[in-house]
Amino acid sequence: MKLVDQHSAEYIETSKKIWQFAEMGYHEEKSSALLQQDLKAAGFSLETGVAGEPTGFIATFGQGKPVIAILGEFDALPGLSQASVPDRSPVVSGAPGHGCGHNLLGSGAALAAVAVKDYMETNHVTGTLRYYGTPAEEGGSGKVYMIRAGVFRDVDVVLHWHPSNANSIQSGGMLAIVSARFTFHGVAAHAAISPDRGRSALDAIMLMGNGIEFMREHVPSTSRIHYIITNGGAAPNIVPDLATMELYARSPSLITLDNIWKRIEKIAEGAAMMTETTLETKIQSSDANIVGNDALAKVAQKNLEEVGGFTYTPAEAKFAQDLQKSLPPEFAGNLESTATVQPLKPYDPNMPSASTDVGDVSWNVPTIGFGAATFVPGVAAHSWQATACTGMSIGQRGMVIAAKALAITAEDLFSDPKLVSAARADFELKMKGKNYASQIPPNQTPPLDYRSH
């Protein structure tokens, strides 16, 4: 923990720079280069452009077993540019911003890695420490292509963290997701003179939407299906020959989601058949739910409690209170909660949740995660309020908490082979009878332009 403190000022600076770069998925050139530069300077060797992802990299220190990996992310979200002030004030209107705090995520993970490397050197610890620079978490499934490239194959345990509004362990949970673009091709015609000669791609979209709505009753109630129409035709007097829907489907279980997804594909095919249009389906992303690990969760909980939370300075408390004024009063959480660590809770599929490509890693390697209180209590990820927090001291202090918890957990794994094998045993147990498969077609390459269409 002392080693983390020694390096924290440097990585807070890195987190501020990445916050300012605010680069979106697969375009995180400056953010990735900065982290690479920091880790190289600290003595890690670099492998860049991993898995056909120009901004993906692996930084390695040491050799032999065990292989302990820490995940880093650094992509921003569209439209969430926001200054670190408690009222809505974009730095650049409409520009991307770090509303998920991945500037802190990538920098905090690097801070942990550098501290663990110092510890390994001083104490002559054998084993391999890796930092995975993983691009495009937000809708690009960057880690799925890395898994396919085999770069996690020899890893014993993966550690990760995510900005949050509480200090807690993240073992299991999150929703499996598949997202796709459905494009229907019809025949254009004058909508008044010769509608009989047209075949409407928009009709197909609307029938597909209806099919989804009727199916919604007959899927488990923890499922989520949401869609938008990104192209519905050019003008009312032209039968649309092109229409596009983007759709996400989610479920707490990857296996359940696979079944729902097959039904969604049938609905799309049915809509094309009914309207005599043709269908083109492009899978955009696919993330698995996170497989928990009880052996790792126990140790992680103990370690996070050892690190403890933090109390706001008077200036931070003032910022937090002002920021909470922008939230509905029932959501404004208790500011004192950042000083505490949440008890370890069993996974509840009814808890509101999102999705992450960390899930895919957890289907392949024993994985454990931390949440740290980087967002003012009550602030949700993917909001301008979250961007405000991740660019200032509240977010940065949470990042240091996470780095310490990651670092001392890595220390435990390097010094206790029994913990590594217990993590493996729990993983085998959880994966019994399950096979990992992603909906992303096997020959698909990373969608480097997915944010620009």
Interacting positions 268-297 with Zn ion (CB under 5 A): none
Distances from the Cα of 234 to the Cαs of 196, 202, 240, in angstroms?
18, 10, 7
The secondary structure of 147-173 as a DSSP string is HHTTTTTT-SEEEEEEEESSBEEE-SB
Nearer to Zn ion, 174 or 440 (CB): 174
Nearer to Zn ion, 3 or 100 (CB): 100
178-187 as b/e: b if 16+ CB within 10 A: bbbbbbbbbe
Site string (197-216) toward Zn ion, x via CB under 5 A: --------------------
Query: CA 201 to CA 240: how far, in whole Å?
Result: 6
**Number of residues counted as binding Zn ion (CB under 5 A):** 1
Distances from the Cα of 312 to the Cαs of 44, 337, 389, 398, 444, in angstroms?
34, 10, 13, 11, 47
How near is the Cβ of 102 to Zn ion at its closest, in Å? 6
Collapsing DSSP to helix, strand or coil, 186 comes out as coil
Query: CA 277 to CA 280: how far, in whole Å?
Result: 10
Q: Give the nearest residue (CB) to Zn ion.
A: 100
Nearer to Zn ion, 129 or 177 (CB): 177
Two tokens at 401? 């908490």
Site string (237-266) toward Zn ion, x via CB under 5 A: ------------------------------
How near is the Cβ of 386 to Zn ion at its closest, in Å? 9
Length of the chain: 453
Nearer to Zn ion, 100 or 129 (CB): 100
Site string (41-60) toward Zn ion, x via CB under 5 A: --------------------
Q: Any residues with CB less than 8 A from the CB of 178 and at least 6 apart, and which?
A: 248, 249, 257, 261, 283, 285, 286, 439
How near is the Cβ of 27 to Zn ion at its closest, in Å? 16
Query: CA 332 to CA 193: how far, in whole Å?
Result: 58
Options 93-101, 110-118, 282-290, 437-445: segment touching Zn ion (CB under 5 A): 93-101
List the alpha helices (DSSP H) in 308-453.
314-324, 358-362, 384-390, 393-415, 417-431
Interacting positions 94-113 with Zn ion (CB under 5 A): 100
How near is the Cβ of 382 to Zn ion at its closest, in Å? 6
The secondary structure of 251-291 as a DSSP string is ES-HHHHHHHHHHHHHHHHHHHHHHT-EEEEEEEEEEPPBP
How near is the Cβ of 166 to Zn ion at its closest, in Å? 15
How near is the Cβ of 372 to Zn ion at its closest, in Å? 13
How near is the Cβ of 253 to Zn ion at its closest, in Å? 21
- Give residue 219's identity as a one-letter amino acid code: V
How near is the Cβ of 131 to Zn ion at its closest, in Å? 17
Nearer to Zn ion, 100 or 413 (CB): 100
Nearer to Zn ion, 100 or 290 (CB): 100
How near is the Cβ of 419 to Zn ion at its closest, in Å? 27
Nearer to Zn ion, 100 or 205 (CB): 100
Nearer to Zn ion, 100 or 254 (CB): 100
CA 271 distance to own-chain centroid:
32
Nearer to Zn ion, 53 or 118 (CB): 53
Collapsing DSSP to helix, strand or coil, 136 comes out as coil
How near is the Cβ of 376 to Zn ion at its closest, in Å? 17
Nearer to Zn ion, 233 or 369 (CB): 369
Distances from the Cα of 167 to the Cαs of 96, 105, 304, 310, in angstroms?
26, 14, 8, 10
Query: CA 76 to CA 53: how far, in whole Å?
Result: 16
**Contacting positions for Zn ion (CB under 5 A):** 100
